[in-house]
Amino acid sequence: MPDFLTHVLVMYIGLAIASWRVGWLDRPYIVVGMAGGLIPDVVKITLLVPAAQVEAILGIPFAWAPLARLGGSLVTAAVASLLVTTAHRRRVFGLLVVGVGVHLALDGVLARPGPASYDMFYPLTYWAPPLPDVYLSSDVWPSITASILAVLTYVVGRARRRA
Partner 1 sequence: MRVGDDPRRRAILILLLLGLQVGMFIQYGIHTEKCPNYECIAEDYASYVGEQFRLGGTVVATEPLVIENRYAPGNTLRLTLRGIDRSLSRGARVVVYGRLQPGHTVTVQDYIVHEVANQRYMYAVSLGALLLVVLAGLRYWRFDPATFVFERRGEN
User: Does residue number 127 form part of the binding site for partner 1 (CB under 8 A)?
Assistant: no
Site size for partner 1, by CB under 8 A? 54
d(CA 68, CA 64): 8
d(CA 98, CA 15): 10
> Does 85 sit near partner 1 (CB under 8 A)?
yes
Which residues ranging from 14 to 53 are in contact with partner 1 (CB under 8 A)? 27-28, 31-32, 34-35, 38, 41, 50-53
**Which are the contacts of 109, defined by CB distance < 8 A and separation ≥ 6?**
117, 131, 132, 133, 134, 135
**CA neighbor of 29 nearest in space, from 10, 12, 5:** 12
Q: Does 129 bind partner 1 (CB under 8 A)?
A: no
CA 74 to CA 90: how far, in whole Å? Answer: 14
| The one segment of 6-14, 16-24, 101-109, 151-159 that binds partner 1 by CB under 8 A | 6-14
Using CB under 8 A as the binding rule, whether residue 136 contacts partner 1 is answered as yes
User: Which residues 6+ apart lie within 8 Å of 7 measured at CB?
Assistant: 1, 37, 38, 41, 102, 103, 106
**Closer residue to partner 1, CB minimum distance, 20 or 126:** 126
Nearest Cα neighbor of 74 from 91, 99, 50 is: 99
Indicate whether 65 belongs to the interface with partner 1 (CB under 8 A): yes
Binding residues for partner 1, rule: CB under 8 A, are 3-5, 7-9, 27-28, 31-32, 34-35, 38, 41, 50-53, 55-56, 60-67, 71-72, 75-76, 78-79, 82-86, 88, 111-115, 122-123, 126, 136-140, 143
